[in-house]
Copies of this chain bind each other. A is one copy, B any other.
Amino acid sequence: MYTYEHERPAIAVDIVVFGYHSDDKPDVKILKNKDAKDSLSLLLIRRGIEPFKNHWALPGGFIRKNETLEETAERELKEEAGIENVFLEQLYTFSHVDRDPRERIISASYFALVETSKYKPSASTDASEAQWFSMNKLPKLAFDHDEIVKTATLRLRNKVRYEPIGFELLPQKFTLTQLQSLYESILGEKMDKRNFRKKILSYGLLKELKSKIKNVSHRPSALYAFDLKKYKVLAKKGLEFEI
């Protein structure tokens, strides 16, 4: 740290945006694959220029003056996909020397959790083309973005067990079955319905709402909302969420 003479790689931010397309939401249609209902999905941008022209890549871009990495991530998310005010967390900084064929670029990656029904790619701003892909059917991505996605997937899988972040992927009102399906698709394992409900309700973080799902040809299910305020209070007191 004693010299001003040093390499100046470019600094970029890449964002792994997770969404969840649940069964009974109308916007499941925007998924390309029919079998992708009820599955975790990823927001990708089709590149307009070389290198990797026409390949799918993570949204992202270069850092600007007077902007933190987090602010870069927020700005790019807004510019490229019209997404804002969502869960965003730093993931890992990738620095392999040849990760970009043009020049040296270090990428600080972030991951975001988005309620997909709110953000339809078609409604977005300046990104040439943005689209949700089911995690089960991802295309080969540009640069080292496959590795970044892999890292993010592992992080999400670990994190969702110990922090109540799954709610970020669901609409404000959701059913316990939706919540369970979400957990099942993130964790990749079936769970027992009774035990799941017992556990998740035991924290007292879900408010049961008066309204119910309507117009379904079976018993209507209760809707719940996550009580973020209560969680913050309890978290300070040392609540240990686990599912």
User: Which residues from chain A sit less than 8 Å from chain B, CB to CB?
Assistant: 1-4, 6-12, 47-49, 57, 60-70, 90, 92-93, 95-97, 102-104, 106, 108
Contact = CB atoms under 8 A, between A and B. Distances in A.
A66 to B, nearest CB: 5
A4 B7 CA distance: 16
Contacts of A3: 62
A6 B60 CA distance: 13
Contacts of A102: 4
B7 A12 contact: no
A93 B14 CA distance: 14
B95 A68 contact: yes
Nearest to A99: B68
B97 A11 contact: no
Number of copies of this protein chain within its complex? 2
A97 B66 contact: yes
Contacts of A1: 12, 47, 57, 60-62
B2 A49 contact: yes
B12 A11 contact: no
Nearest to A100: B1
Contact of A63 (B6, B49, B64, B90): B6
Contacts of A104: 65
A203 to B, nearest CB: 20
A106 B69 contact: yes
A95 B70 contact: yes
B70 A7 contact: no
Contacts of A68: 95-97
Nearest to A80: B1
A60 B2 CA distance: 10
A7 B92 contact: no
A28 B105 CA distance: 43
26 contacts: A1-B61, A1-B62, A2-B49, A3-B62, A6-B63, A6-B64, A7-B62, A7-B63, A7-B64, A7-B65, A8-B8, A9-B11, A11-B11, A11-B106, A63-B95, A63-B106, A65-B104, A66-B97, A67-B97, A68-B96, A68-B97, A69-B93, A69-B95, A69-B106, A70-B95, A93-B108
Nearest to A72: B95
Contacts of A9: 8, 11, 63
A35 to B, nearest CB: 27
